């Protein structure tokens, strides 16, 4: 698999499009299925005519006055077991969820490419990568496809099953992936006690979440603790750290500062820190979709 793309945003070989955005909504195509979902950042007018928006087979709206938690209205019957979506050589199953997600965050696509290229260009053949808050596993698949071992952790058994299924769908079922249903903090503390170390850590913590035992995750209260435990499980010469969020009030610089505070002083490296976005085909604007900060160790090849 070679995920390199000459485009600033990898639209080729990706069967997803943001077709239009505006008036706090976005119109997207996931494979051959169209949906309207909330886009609180899209404060501008829509570009495409109503007839295009009417192609949507489902619309998700937040409950009145809320910015998360809502419900779907479907206008057509969708495949009961979901449908596949291609990203280069990876295949993800798509299916609307109660949270308004369809099973994949398209704004993460440049990060999957970055992970893929970093691992492929490394001379190391024994890389061991950790993906916490791994959801349906897109980043896990990028690591596995590039040839490194990966541990995928998520609190939701259903998400881990979905991620495993995506790995199989992508023809990577024989890759060395460890699947863990656990609370992120509990898992990291245990790994530290056991002396396990990782050469790269990927994390996309939610604003709020719960571990399988009801453990409460609040990003503003627990991100420092999470980073401290990540530091304890980093190998002596880690290859990379990737931290992304979709949490209001968490800027790209905040994420970079969190990594800076916790990477070992002996490591020199390069940061890339910016806004995540999805290119809008209708308006030609970029729809803001969270933040990322990623660090790679310059002294490791
Ligand atoms: C924003 S999603 C991650 C998206 C994913 N990284 C991607 O880009 O496709 C957050 C994930 O964190 C998981 N989660 C929430 N609280 C957790 C906790 N305390 N420990 C581990 N995972 C948790 C959720 O089940 C969910 O799958």
What structural domains and CATH numbers belong to the chain? 16-94 (2.60.40.1180), 106-297 (3.40.50.150)
Distance from the CA of 153 to the center of ligand 1, in angstroms?
8
Q: 7 falls in which pLDDT band (50, 70, 90)? A: very low
Q: What is the pLDDT of residues 86-102, one digit of tens each?
A: 999 999 999 999 999 99
The percent of residues above 70 in pLDDT, for the chain, comes to 96
Q: 10 falls in which pLDDT band (50, 70, 90)? A: low
Statement: residue 264 has pLDDT above 90 = no
Q: Which residue out of 151, 153, 154 has the highest number of ligand 1 atoms within 8 Å of its CB and is therefore the one to mutate?
A: 154
pLDDT of residue 9: 55
Q: Tell the residue nearest (CA) to atom 8 of ligand 1.
A: 105
Q: What is the pLDDT of residues 208-228, one digit of tens each?
A: 999 999 999 999 999 999 999
Q: Tell the residue nearest (CA) to atom 11 of ligand 1.
A: 133
The percent of residues above 90 in pLDDT, for the chain, comes to 88
Statement: residue 297 has pLDDT above 70 = yes
**267-282 as b/e: b if 16+ CB within 10 A:** bebebebeebbbbbbb
pLDDT of residue 65: 78
The mean per-residue pLDDT over the stretch 178-197 comes to 98
Work out the mean pLDDT of the chain and round it to a whole number: 93
Ligand 1 atom closest to Cα of 217? 19
Q: Nearest 5°: phi and psi at 224?
A: -60, -45
Statement: residue 2 has pLDDT above 80 = no
Distance from the CA of 208 to the center of ligand 1, in angstroms?
9
pLDDT of residue 248: 87
Q: Beta strand pairing status for 216-218 and 208-210?
A: antiparallel
The set of protein residues with a Cβ atom below 6 angstroms from ligand 1 is 105, 108, 133-136, 138-139, 154-156, 159, 183-184, 204, 206, 209-211, 215, 217
Q: 282 falls in which pLDDT band (50, 70, 90)? A: confident
With a threshold of 0.85, does the pTM exceed it?
A: yes
Q: Which residue out of 209, 242, 290 has the highest number of ligand 1 atoms within 8 Å of its CB and is therefore the one to mutate?
A: 209
């Amino acid at each position: 698999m070679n995920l390199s793309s000459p485009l600033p945003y990898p639209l080729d070989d990706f069967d997803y499009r943001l077709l239009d955005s505006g008036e706090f909504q976005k119109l997207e195509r996931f494979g051959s299925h169209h949906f309207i979902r909330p886009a609180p950042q899209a404060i501008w007018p829509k570009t495409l005519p109503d007839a295009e928006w009417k192609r949507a087979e489902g619309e998700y709206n937040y409950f009145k006055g809320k910015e998360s938690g809502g419900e779907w209205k479907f206008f057509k019957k969708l495949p009961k077991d979901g449908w596949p979506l291609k990203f280069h050589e990876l295949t993800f199953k798509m299916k609307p969820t109660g949270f308004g997600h369809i099973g994949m965050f398209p704004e993460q696509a440049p990060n999957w490419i970055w992970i893929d290229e970093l691992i492929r260009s490394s001379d190391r053949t024994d890389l061991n990568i950790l993906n916490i808050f791994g959801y349906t596993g897109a980043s896990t698949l990028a690591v596995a496809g590039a040839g490194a071992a990966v541990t995928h952790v998520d609190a939701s058994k259903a998400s881990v099953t979905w991620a495993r299924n995506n790995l199989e769908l992508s023809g990577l079922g024989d890759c060395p992936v460890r699947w863990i249903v656990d609370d992120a903090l509990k898992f990291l503390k245990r790994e530290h006690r056991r002396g396990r170390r990782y050469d790269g850590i990927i994390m996309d913590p939610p604003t709020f979440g719960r571990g399988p035992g009801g453990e409460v995750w609040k990003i503003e209260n627990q991100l420092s603790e999470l980073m401290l435990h990540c530091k304890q499980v980093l190998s002596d010469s880690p290859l990379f750290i990737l931290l992304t969020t979709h949490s209001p009030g968490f800027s790209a610089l905040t994420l970079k500062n969190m990594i800076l505070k916790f990477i070992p002083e002996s490591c020199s490296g390069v940061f890339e820190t910016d806004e995540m976005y999805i290119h809008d085909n209708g308006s030609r604007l970029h729809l803001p979709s969270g933040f990322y900060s990623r660090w790679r160790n310059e002294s490791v090849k």
